A and B are shown apart, each in its own frame.
Chain A
């Protein structure tokens, strides 16, 4: 049987791909991997299409038994993974034989670790995607996090593997490493915030609170005041929007965010830095820096070239 058995699931492990698009107009947000770059690199390492379904592990990883031989890769935060007791390198493809047990532990740094298997995890498509939207129990494995005893089927890979272990080049890892400064572009309600408030926003350090999950990250730090009304008429909100509710403490809206909202938005995280947000844990600190939309798109284009062109080498 081409499958993986879940011995223990870890803190919050879900099936994720690159997202479910096209249904925001009926209230379904995209979900998908919180750190898309790590998921895509893990898929690259095992020769999968970039959007194949993998496992997203959060803070503490799971223990898995492989029922048949396959190639796997771990990317993202280092969860100290071992295979039958031997250390498994991150950012590398690893060959696993039938019956071997992969054990992942607590994170050393960063929030999420991705496990991708050659062929991809086989769960039914829901509205065109295998991503799990945990908040509304949609997609993935029965709309929920993995539990002990779950058996995940694996898809058969399209072509035979080359057989040579691969790893991600160091210069790529250096470029995608954790950053404390998150770059943002102007939010649609920028003019509700004074120059002083905008300066406060970019000169302060904000700390991620315990209220941080796939839906959003509540930050604590110097509160931001707005002129006039705290609420605006409900409007569509994008991934990465930074909204400021009544108490003035910003919230970064994340992959399972609600499709519409009524709080003023001071900024939005640039697409190229969203994967950094996916690695933030409670008590991590961040600062924000405004960039233009042009700069944001240039950074995204550079990141895309970095991960898709010549990012692999023999291990």
Chain B
């Protein structure tokens, strides 16, 4: 497994400028239900907004408030669900506001760089042709574009272990299918709009499938169960069909 903790890619200096003075109406606190609080750090996807999400997530995990049931980080916001019979929504909001006031003090997060082998062979990439055609580029160019960037894992959501990666090169952006496929094979690497991700388990989905990884991204008995975590950097590494079959056998 190619996880490199010594790499310095990921968060950069700019992410550690004091956050709270930047945008006047943010951070924003809203109760999304009678037992969940939504904290939004800014309007729009940006690494700066996201670093607020990542740092608040770390603070919540280290504080371990007994009423917390779940934490859902996303691009520029974080939802926390709690038991409102253990703490009132008002008290909980005050508690989280206190943490947000301290996020500038959260230090450098551990940085991991992960290489994901991907086979872009047509057997695994039924939509690669349509992605290339939509963007007026060749298949080779599409593979080159997709496998060059260092993507940030913004968060995991939608399905167990599914990483939301950013940013996809603009020349690969392709709309989702209006009607989702009933079943996307596990390990499929896909593009949806201007996003890219990997389906760790087989689920329905409307994104365009452009390849497959032999890696397992989610296993319930792993600790933690997901291969990737928020803040990781991911690079796709093109492999041949033979290499794919070899790596699959080794699992």
**Residues of A at under 8 Å CB distance from B?**
21-28, 30, 126-127, 135-138, 185-188, 233-241, 258-260, 265, 268-271, 293, 296-297, 300-301, 304
Q: A235-B79, A271-B84 are in contact. Are A25 and B160 (CB under 8 A)?
A: no
Whether A188 lies near B30 (C-beta < 8 A) is yes
With known contacts A22-B69, A27-B159, A236-B38, A126–B220 Cβ distance under 8 A: yes
Question: Does B155 lie at the interface of the complex (its beta carbon under 8 Å from any beta carbon of A)?
Answer: yes
Kindly state whether residue B4 has any CB partner on chain A within 8 Å: no
| B30 proximity list for chain A (CB < 8 A) | 188
| Chain A residue, CB-CB nearest to B193 | A231
Contact residue among B44, B158, B230 (Cβ-Cβ distance under 8 Å from A25) = B230
Q: Is the CB of B203 within 8 A of A25?
A: no
Residues from chain B with a CB closer than 8 A to the CB of A30 are: 69-70
How many Å lie between the Cα of A21 and that of B81 in the bound state? 10
**Chain B residues near A301 (CB-CB < 8 A):** 85
Interface residues of B in 156-179 (CB under 8 A from A): 156-162, 164
Whether the Cβ atoms of A297 and B88 lie closer than 8 Å is yes
Q: Which of A22, A127, A233, A260 contacts B158 (CB 8 A)?
A: A260
Number of interface residues of B (CB under 8 A): 46
Q: Which residues of chain A are within 8 angstroms of B34 by Cβ–Cβ distance?
A: 185, 268, 270-271, 293, 296-297, 300
Within the complex, the shortest CB–CB distance from B138 to chain A, in Å, comes to 31
Q: Contact at B78–A138, with CB atoms within 8 Å?
A: no
19 A-B pairs with CB atoms under 8 Å apart are A22-B69, A25-B70, A26-B156, A27-B161, A27-B226, A138-B160, A185-B34, A233-B45, A233-B76, A235-B74, A236-B38, A236-B73, A259-B158, A260-B74, A260-B155, A260-B157, A268-B34, A300-B84, A300-B85
Chain A hits for B224, CB < 8 A: 26
Are B157 and A259 closer than 8 Å at their CB atoms?
yes
